[in-house]
Amino acid sequence: MTSLCQGRTAIVTGAGGGLGRSYARALAAAGANVIVNDINAETGAETVTQIRDAGGVAELNVNDITSHEDAGRIVQQAIQSFGDCQIVVNNAGICRDRMFASMSPDDWDQVMSVHLKGHFCISSHLARLWRSQSKDGKAVSGRIINTSSGAGLLGSVGQSNYSAAKGGILSLTLVQAAELARYGVTANALAPQARTGMTEDVFGEMMKVPDDGSFDVYHPDNAAPLVVWLASEASSHVTGRCFEIFGGKLSIADGWRSGPMRDKAARWDADELTDAVNDLLGQAEPPQPVYGS
């Protein structure tokens, strides 16, 4: 058992089940004090009980991550209970899947609120805390761990809202990493593949537990060691990255970057662009296909 996070304090959102529960338990096993945040008090309390039964330290929190005021209360609970807070794992999420032509404004707004605004709120309070601590001369070792998805990297048919939110989280992570490095804070993102409450109904057969005792590649515990490492001081040199993890497979995503270029050194005429664009397309690496296409 590792002690990489001994004495550090972490907030894990959506920790009442699935990946969030795995992250919270692994962080506690690595020595962290854990605020288990979930709007479902019953499942959140189950996670707290599991951590405490294993000898770890955890407290339940049921505040709403989509409310900036409520998010401040989550951070305050961590500080009041444990003296400080070094880590947030923004994990909570929902799906409201529809084909784009059938998607309602409410389907869009709910997903944006829980994912994008939910990722903003707690991190906003912590960023202000860490900036203040740094300016006061305190050594800060802050960690923002955001949750993206293959849908955010590639897009996913029937999930335009979810894909847009997860893509936004990747861009948010890049900016957080660039702006907060001066205060001793890193920001990274995960794109995990695992069996969770959001995936079981859609991919139940594909993600079922193997009945032959072989490695369960979809078990959410498989992603937890990476979260522990990113939450620790050992990861201080890594920021602004998105890690993909699936079973025993670990990779770093290679995101959007400037590609082939043609410079006319003057304004383009619209009639010239067909040949120019086709030439650039012939040089550019083709994008990976959208999930489900």
Q: Which of the residues are catalytic?
A: 149, 162, 166
**Measuring CA to CA, which residue among 49, 40, 31, 166 is closest to residue 86?**
31
Q: Cα(71)–Cα(283) distance, rounded to whole angstroms?
A: 47
**What residue has token string 């005021």?**
69
Tokens of 199: 């995936």
In this structure, are residues 68 and 90 in contact, taking their beta carbons and an 8 Å threshold? Answer: no
Q: For residues 91 and 14, is the Cβ–Cβ distance under 8 A?
A: yes
- Sign, CA dihedral 170-176-178-183, equals negative
Q: Which residue from 17, 35, 26, 10 is spatially nearest to 200, judged by alpha carbons?
A: 17
Tally DSSP H helices, then E strands, for the chain. 10, 8
Name the E strands within 55-197: 57-61, 87-89, 142-147, 185-193
The answer for residues whose C-beta is within 8 angstroms of residue 53's C-beta and 6 or more apart is none
Strand pairing partners for 186? Answer: 143
To the nearest 5 percent, what fractions of the chain are helix, strand and coil? 45, 15, 35
Q: How many CA atoms lie within 13 A of 69 on its CB side?
A: 0
